[in-house]
Amino acid sequence: MTFTVPGPVMDEINGHGEKSYPEEGAGLILGLSEGEHREARQVLPMPNHFDSHKRGRRYRLDPQEILQAEERAEQLGLEVIGVFHSHPDHPSAPSQTDLDWAVPWYVYLITSIEKGAASETRAWRMLEDHSRMVEEILEIKDGDG
């Protein structure tokens, strides 16, 4: 599958990861899906509710806030298509915790933040049988083209 993210949306994701450093920053991705293709339209940065001393390696989103985000997405004619989060001084690959919590279909964007600066973002998806996460093709779209 291909996942398209407009440049300004990617800037926002990187910015949230940098702002959250050295903790993990996370949020929801709102967009559209059609067949094998998904496209982000906007992101909703959300508070990391994990225990404060563990936020450098974990994140937790509030289920109530996710429900509100789903309602908001619907009002905009969009849907929640995934989750983005950062890995402070850690590679942009799923951790064991990410594997444990990932649900199929959602796209998971992971941004590595090295010494406070966003370095690399990769997109992942959990297989239907929960066996592993596979990498998606991530396409950054510049301008309005």
Provide the binding-site residues for Zn ion, judged by CB under 5 A: 95, 98
* DSSP bridge partners of 27: 45, 84
Residue number with the smallest Cβ distance to Zn ion:
98
CB of 111 to Zn ion, least distance (A): 10
Choose between 41 and 121: whose C-beta lies nearer to Zn ion: 121
CB of 53 to Zn ion, least distance (A): 17
Query: Phi then psi for 90, rounded to 5 degrees?
Result: -150, 150
Choose between 71 and 120: whose C-beta lies nearer to Zn ion: 120
CB of 105 to Zn ion, least distance (A): 18
Please calculate the CA angle 85-5-145 and round it to the nearest 5 degrees: 160
Choose between 12 and 98: whose C-beta lies nearer to Zn ion: 98
Cα–Cα distance between 64 and 72 in angstroms, integer? 13
Q: Which amino acid is at 30?
A: L
